Amino acid sequence: MTTRSHPKGLYLLFVTEMWERFSYYGMRAIFVLFMIKALMFDKAHAADIYGTYTGLVYLTPLVGGYIADRYWGNRRSILVGGVMMAIGQFMLFLSGNLHNTDVQSATWFLYGGLGMLIAGNGLFKPNISSMVGQLYEPGDKRVDSAFTIFYMGINTGSLMAPLICGTLGDTGHPDDFKWGFLAAGFGMLLSLAVFSLFKNKYLVTPQGAPIGMAPKRVHESGEKVVHAPLTRIEKERLAVILIVSAFVIFFWSAFEQAGASLTFFAEEQTNRNLLGFTVPASYFQSLNPISVVIFAPIFAMIWTALGRKGMEPSSPAKMAFGLLFLSIGYLVIAFGVDGLQPGVKVSMLWLVSLYVLHTFGELCLSPIGLSLVVKLSPARFTGLMMGVWFLSTAAANKFAGTLSELYPEAGKAAPQLLGYTINNLHDFFMVFVFMAGAASLVLFLLSSQLKKMTHGLQ
């Protein structure tokens, strides 16, 4: 059973999400630069807008999930969300067109575009993920590996995004940012086109019934459908989602240092010379999506092989391993900078090792978490619970910013955290070793109890 190939619908969702993520990350790659270099915002203001935007983008899935569960179903929510996101990208394109002739309109198009992206993502993101699980029968062992494959789609899009939108938009000439946004808009249209064309053919259950349709509100007899109250088992399963989502906040807030403190570290403390060429600090951020695409199939194979021997860890235990990998990644780099004199730069290999270890962690936690949410939610709540899962990313992004303020800088008073003084980079990285390590340990200890609370669905 574990070796059976996957339904075609999985590859449709893979391609749809790949182009949507291309659009999302393509815009993100040039967004801050556009605000600073074309709209002439100061850096702190741009950073503030960026933080608010990335936080809100993961907050709205709660609403989008609810709308799908209650009214629209996944398909319609995805289509409406996708159209809104495409409009958002085209509004940014207009902002890029107007930035030096009519700054006021350009600013309005910026905010309008961001609003469309935030609302659109809320409708799109939780619902595309919940459809992956519905392609399988409950209890099908292939679901974890399906989400791992789907995760490769996410990262293939994320990987192409800065290369294409960055190259078109970030040319050094502020008039060119618009081309990056335009490419992001076309990516979104491509995602919508593929989804619309093939959804009826491939988005079906193993028996051929369509999935992702609007929930029935009225019986054929004309009587209203009443949603059954939650049973005790269902409540325990939902509690598992809430508990693991809380742990996941620790994961993403340490992981998301990539865009903040780890980029400062790449910029200032890493020797980026490679055969006479200086690797730009921003390139380090593509190490993660590249590693996901390389290692995801290996992880999927490992789970399948362990499953065949009856040795596959439970989902909460896999997620605890994820936190452990994250902790080890920081331990490696803490070792690399131990006793480092100010102004001395370390080899790039430290950051490369950190990102690869973090990717291993992500592959144990993120696709597994999406899969767990789908398996544990009663069908009438899947969208909403997916929203809860993404809520932890929203909280973590905010927390990540606060933690990165602890980054030690010469001439600044040593920051403190719960009585622990951060005198140097080693101390800073150790914060994440402890944080992720402690979360991993507690999750390991809880994992057999959590497994019981899933009542056989982990």
Binding site for ligand GLN (CB under 6 A): 21, 154, 252, 366, 393
Give the phi and the psi of residue 7 in degrees, each rounded to 5: -65, 155
Give the angle subtended at the CA of 122 by the CAs of 370 and 145, to the nearest 5°.
20
Reading the block at residue 39, the tokens are: 């709209």
Whether residue 241 contacts residue 389, with contact meaning beta carbons closer than 8 Å, is answered with: yes
Q: How far apart are CA 211 and CA 227, in angstroms?
A: 18
Least Cβ distance, residue 285 to ligand GLN (angstroms): 11
Least Cβ distance, residue 107 to ligand GLN (angstroms): 27
Least Cβ distance, residue 226 to ligand GLN (angstroms): 34
> What is the distance between the terminal CA atoms of the chain, rounded to a whole angstrom?
17
C-beta closer to ligand GLN: residue 126 or 169: 126
C-beta closer to ligand GLN: residue 251 or 381: 251
Residue with tokens 């040039």: 30
Give the angle subtended at the CA of 336 by the CAs of 355 and 163, to the nearest 5°.
30
CA 213 to chain centre: 25
396, amino acid identity: A
Q: Closest residue to ligand GLN, Cβ-based?
A: 393
Least Cβ distance, residue 419 to ligand GLN (angstroms): 30
Whether residue 233 contacts residue 455, with contact meaning beta carbons closer than 8 Å, is answered with: yes
Least Cβ distance, residue 153 to ligand GLN (angstroms): 10
C-beta closer to ligand GLN: residue 16 or 270: 16
C-beta closer to ligand GLN: residue 41 or 325: 325
Q: How far apart are CA 362 and CA 182, in angstroms?
A: 31
C-beta closer to ligand GLN: residue 21 or 99: 21
Least Cβ distance, residue 232 to ligand GLN (angstroms): 30
Whether residue 374 contacts residue 228, with contact meaning beta carbons closer than 8 Å, is answered with: no
C-beta closer to ligand GLN: residue 134 or 392: 392
- At residue 418, the 3 state secondary structure works out as coil
C-beta closer to ligand GLN: residue 38 or 384: 384
Least Cβ distance, residue 306 to ligand GLN (angstroms): 24
